[in-house]
Amino acid sequence: MPVPTTPLLMRWETSLDLLRTHSALGPIVRFYFRRREQILYLVVGGWNTVFGYGVWAALQYLLGSHLHYLVVVVLSWPFAVLNAYLGYRFVVFRSRGPVLAELPRFSLVYLATLVANLALLPVALATLPLNIYVIQALFTAAVVVVSYIGHKYYSFRGGRRRDDVNSAAYDPTSRSGG
């Protein structure tokens, strides 16, 4: 069994593994194990989207009349990045790499999205018939999809995955019916 990052995730994957040969649920379970990283990335990314957007929206609501909306975007960015880093490191990529090496790389991926946000938000506000909350929600959701490649191949590239330790003992894709 891979070395999961949390007892809850361990119980979840152990329970799923028992359903691998189930006639109705087996194909879904096998799909999960084949695409585990991508599925968890979307789940954690969904949470990050809700969290990051919530932090931004709360700050925009509270500070928007006192600060320019781009300043509010910059202020909310560190909260969203730290939340995302923790989820992706421990749940999705299960990295064991040093935080001091990974976090700056991780932040650079999101720095690129921050720069794009700062450049595109004023243009979108001027040209689209949508309010700032809708435009920012769309941008935040798009970041989840775009950032996957950056995090997989750059942010966590050097970190040994937690499940690599026992990969010889447990390979979900090699089981019968997998």
The pair of three-digit structure tokens given for residue 173, joined into one six-digit string: 């894709």
Contact between residue 106 and residue 93 where contact means Cβ atoms under 8 Å apart: no
Burial 153-177 (b: 16+ CB within 10 A, else e): eebbeebebbbeeeeeeeebeeeee
| Host domain of residue 50 | 7-174
The predicted model scores a pTM of 0.72
Total tally of structural domains belonging to the chain: 1
Give 47-111 as a DSSP string. HHHHHHHHHHHHHHHHHTTTS-HHHHHHHHHHHHHHHHHHHIIIIIS-B-S-HHHHHHHHHHHHH
2 inside domain: no
In the numeric block, the tokens 């789940």 are attached to 43
Helix axes 99-127, 69-87, angle to 10 degrees: 140
The pair of three-digit structure tokens given for residue 139, joined into one six-digit string: 């941008």
One digit per residue, pLDDT tens: the chain, 178 residues?
A: 344 456 777 777 787 788 888 888 888 888 888 888 889 998 998 899 899 999 999 999 999 999 999 999 999 999 999 999 999 999 888 888 899 988 998 999 889 989 999 999 999 999 999 999 999 988 887 887 778 888 888 888 765 554 544 433 334 444 444 4
In the numeric block, the tokens 């499940």 are attached to 163
1 inside domain: no
pLDDT of residue 17: 82
